[in-house]
Amino acid sequence: MSLSPVVQPDKFVHEPARLAILTVLSGCKSAEFLFLQRATQLTKGNLSVQMSKLEEAGFIEIDKAFEGKKPVTSAALTAKGARALKQYWEAMDEIRRRGNGKRS
């Protein structure tokens, strides 16, 4: 009998703030910064830092525009980010299945 490999969810995605941002963005085409802040309950600074990290990883695209004279920042999940989030949830589901004594 061989042991199955340990399932390891992506630690980059697993970080709570990044996971919250990716999860919110997975449910919409794009979201403005203030909406993300309210939805994730993150501070402006933490949200900004985590969004920058996600953008550097290619998981989200950040768009900065002006509505009149007011700056508006929005973000959207990229295909790479959607794949990473899907793989994360699949890994978590596998961990849950193993915990329930079920194999995939």
Q: pLDDT of 5-16, one tens digit each? A: 778 899 999 999
Which among 62, 58, 60 has a CA at the least distance from the CA of 72?
62
- Provide the domain limits for residue 34: 11-92
Residue 102 lies in a domain: no
The average pLDDT across 87-99 equals 92
DSSP letters of 12-35? HHHSHHHHHHHHHHHTSS-EEHHH
CATH number for the domain that contains residue 63: 1.10.10.10
Residue 100 lies in a domain: no
* Distance (Å, whole) CA 34 – CA 64: 13
Residue 99 lies in a domain: no
The pair of structure tokens assigned to 28 is 């919409």
pLDDT digits (tens, 9 = 90+) for 42-51: 999 999 999 9
| Side-chain-side CA neighbours of residue 8 (13 Å) | 5
| pLDDT for residue 5 | 73
Domain count, the chain: 1
Q: CA Rg, the chain, in Å?
A: 16
